[in-house]
Amino acid sequence: MHLLTTVVDMHRQRRALAGSVGVVPTMGYLHEGHISLARRARAENDHVIATIFVNPSQFGPGEDLAAYPRDLPRDLDLLEAAGVDMVFVPSTAELYPPGYETWIDLADLPTKLEGAQRPGHFRGVATIVTKLFNLTRPTRAYFGQKDAQQAILLRRLTVDLNFDLDLIICPTVREPHGLAMSSRNAYLTAEERQRAGVLYRALSAAAEAYERGERDAESLRRGMAAILAAEPAAQPEYISIAHLETLDEIVGEMRVPALASVAARVGKARLIDNVWLGREVG
Ligand code: AMP
């Protein structure tokens, strides 16, 4: 497995690749969720590139940029075992050199859900992913359902900016009790980790009600809110049933596929999770 750290090297190595290229962008501190993306990329492409970059521009003031967990040696071992060919691990100065001033802004999607809580977050995400797409020129790029708004917004970006690639959304990998795997779970104590299973319990209840035929969005939101309220360790930030493409909150009857999503604070961590209603992930 090749470890690349500079833009010049990345461009040079990419030019030498013939055939299909699968790309898996990450911020490192890898877990089984990330590795599921790498394995799928391995199965579907001639070459696999993973990237590890904790992108400062997607963290707001007061967020956890400095504390974000890191373990590069372990990450490299896991990626090698998953069959990844190249890992791009640039420094911040390499991607944002002095004088940097180009940003990618989507008009509407960043104002919803996560974007409403984290101003500027998706500007940072859209910008870094555009740069990584230009650096790695994927045939297929792999993202997790776990960050559903990110995946939906990046699909829009891929179409809007005419990137010649397939953006593939992979199902959320969970702990046995349902908690979605996340690098940020490292901030939780063992007890908080158990209690944080309440996010998925609330989402599962919404999915089950939907399966039984419930189509009143407000009733699904109320059901999730009641389950979350019964766990004092979780402080919800939003509880949403939204249109799966526009991410607008659904009012009244659900006639289209929907994203059921929650964000909540548990201990030192801010956690997000979602399920899709009326459409398979992919
Ligand atoms: P991150 O390192 O948090 O930026 O995540 C890198 C990629 O892995 C993103 O596309 C995430 O959506 C995806 N990912 C994170 N957690 C999971 C999970 N539990 N299951 C599947 N994909 C995930």
Vertex 271: Cα angle to 265 and 276 (nearest 5)? 130
Please say if the pLDDT value at position 257 is more than 90. Answer: yes
Give the model confidence (pLDDT) of 1-24 as tens digits: 999 999 999 999 999 999 999 999
- Rounded to whole angstroms, the Cα distance separating 238 from 261 reads 8
**Mean predicted confidence (pLDDT) in 100-120:** 98
Is the CB of 141 inside a 6 Å radius of any atom of ligand 1?
Answer: no
* pLDDT score at 134: 98
Hey, how many other C-beta atoms are within 10 angstroms of the C-beta on 59? 18
In angstroms, what is the span from residue 216 Cα to ligand 1's centroid? 30
pLDDT of 20 reads 98
Write out the catalytic residue numbers: 34
Best mutation site among 114, 146, 185, 203 for ligand 1, i.e. most ligand atoms within 8 A of its Cβ? 146
Q: Is 30 in the pocket of ligand 1 (CB under 6 A)?
A: no
Query: What average pLDDT does the segment 82-104 reach?
Result: 98
The full DSSP string for 152-192 is: HHHHHHHHHTT--SEEEEEPPPB-TTSPBP-GGGGGS-HHH
pLDDT digits (tens, 9 = 90+) for 205-229: 999 999 999 999 999 999 999 999 9
The third-level CATH classification (topology) of the domain covering 183-277 is Pantoate--beta-alanine Ligase; Chain: A,domain 2 (3.30.1300)
Domain 2-170 CATH superfamily: HUPs (3.40.50.620)
pLDDT in the model for residue 282: 86
Ligand 1 close to Cβ of residue 37 (< 6 A): yes
- Amino acid letter, residue 147: D
CB-ligand 1 contact for 45 (6 Å cutoff): no
What's the whole-model pTM score? Answer: 0.98
- Gap between the Cα atoms of 262 and 11, Å rounded: 39
Q: In what order do the strands lie in the sheet with 269-277?
A: 234-243, 258-266, 269-277
Domain ranges in the chain?
A: 2-170, 183-277
Q: Ligand 1 centre and the CA of 173: distance in Å?
A: 9
Q: What is the pLDDT of residues 39-69, one digit of tens each?
A: 999 999 999 999 999 999 999 999 999 999 9
